[in-house]
Amino acid sequence: MLRAMSDLAPLQTTELYVRQKRELAEFFGFETRNKYAISTSDRREVFYAAEQRSGILGMLAMYFLGHWRSFDIAFFDQTRQEAFRAHHPFRFFFQRLEVSAGGRFIGAIQQRWAFFTKRFDVLDANGNVVFEMKSGFFKLWTFPFFRGEQQVGVIEKKWSGVFNEMFTDKDNFRVAFQDASLSMDQRMLMLAAAVFVDLQYFERKAQSS
């Protein structure tokens, strides 16, 4: 059944912060499932996200296949009810994240081939390109969204401190919604894209790579 729109109300803000939550086992080199707390600029947590996997096979897939593996990320509201979900199919090239809410497919983030940059198309439910997300050669931690020539949003990785950057996968991101006309579906796609960027570029890669 479709989730009530009020559950997604915090998406109407101008910016959200995505903070990866680290477990004790990660200090000792054991990868655990990815979990995130999502808050407003005043540090009020409004969403939570967690990779949905269980058992030894899920752990092995994460350890050996890294960001190539198939996985689901569920986004929960403050009452711990699922608000929307993102699915990443298994693939070695041109990564893709498919987003749905209440069983309704709303769009996808599709990696595109590019020289020296990171480029993605943000697609609506009909496969139409609504935004292009790309990172410049000299701005590797910044991923703006463009509608034509207009920037409508941006994902920025924030510095987490020397220890976290060198020894853990704990990452922090700012997601800014810079166009007030963005629809709820488009805002969900942007928020899901922040987690996608983390898993694609900042999570430790597969051990065999």
Using a cut of 0.85, tell me whether the model's pTM lies above it: no
Cβ(184)–Cβ(84) under 8 Å? no
Closest CA to 33 of 203, 207, 187, 191: 203
Q: What is the pLDDT of residue 46?
A: 95
Coil vs helix vs strand at 148: coil
pLDDT higher than threshold 60 for residue 192: yes
Residue 189 pLDDT grade (very low, low, confident, very high; cuts 50, 70, 90): very high
Structure tokens at 99: 């987003």
pLDDT digits (tens, 9 = 90+) for 111-144: 998 777 889 999 999 999 999 998 877 777 899 9
Q: What is the pLDDT of residue 146?
A: 97
pLDDT digits (tens, 9 = 90+) for 26-77: 433 344 568 999 999 999 999 999 987 655 555 555 554 555 578 899 999 9
Task: Give the C-alpha separation, 45 to 40, whole Å.
Answer: 7
CATH topology of domain 13-202: Porin (2.40.160)
Q: What is the pLDDT of residue 65?
A: 52
Structure tokens at 45: 């947590």
Radius of gyration of the chain (CA): 16
Q: What is the pLDDT of residue 134?
A: 87
Q: What is the pLDDT of residue 30?
A: 41
Measured between its terminal Cα atoms, the distance across the chain in Å is: 41
Task: Give the C-alpha separation, 197 to 141, whole Å.
Answer: 10
Residue extents of the structural domains in the chain: 13-202
Q: What DSSP string runs through 179-204?
A: -TT--HHHHHHHHHHHHHHIIIIISP
Angle at 161 between CA 159 and CA 164, to 5 degrees: 105
pLDDT digits (tens, 9 = 90+) for 78-116: 888 999 999 998 777 789 999 999 999 999 999 998 777
